Structure 1
Amino acid sequence: MHYWKIRKVSKDCFVSFNGKRYSYLFRYVGQELKVKKPYLPSDQKPQDVKLEACKQFILLIENFLVVLLLNLANFFFNF
């Protein structure tokens, strides 16, 4: 479960949420964003969420490398 908040992107490209500042794209300066914070069940720790995010990032990198290698192989074998 998540809860949503509306936040505005400041002139220095940051969005404030729950006492922290997050950078965002320049083209969104002055616009409002819908920001969500995950609801953690009582038995789940923030470290578990960070670990899961790291796992997802590693999968993203692996997928990128596979596509890159396939494109390189396709380029060299069809050259």
Structure 2
Amino acid sequence: MLDRQRGKIIFECDVCGDTLDTETGDFNEARALLEREEWKARKMGSDWLHSCSKCGVPSERAPLAKASRLL
């Protein structure tokens, strides 16, 4: 998930919930950091899924894994 807080972009892993604070509001800079930190982004239908370097490539089941953690 991509979120903007106080003008800065934050990525959240759709699998485990870890976050990557980019400290920038510029999308290109944020995306470059995402790649440097070895996070992955994948478009599934109309949504973009993001995952941290520990979780790997996001899949269709990724949001379900995060949702089940909250129950």
Per the TM superposition, whether the score is higher than 0.5 is: no
Taking structure 2 as the reference length, the TM-score comes to 0.27
TM-score (norm 1): 0.25
Tell me which protein shows more helix as a share of its residues. 1
Larger radius of gyration: 1
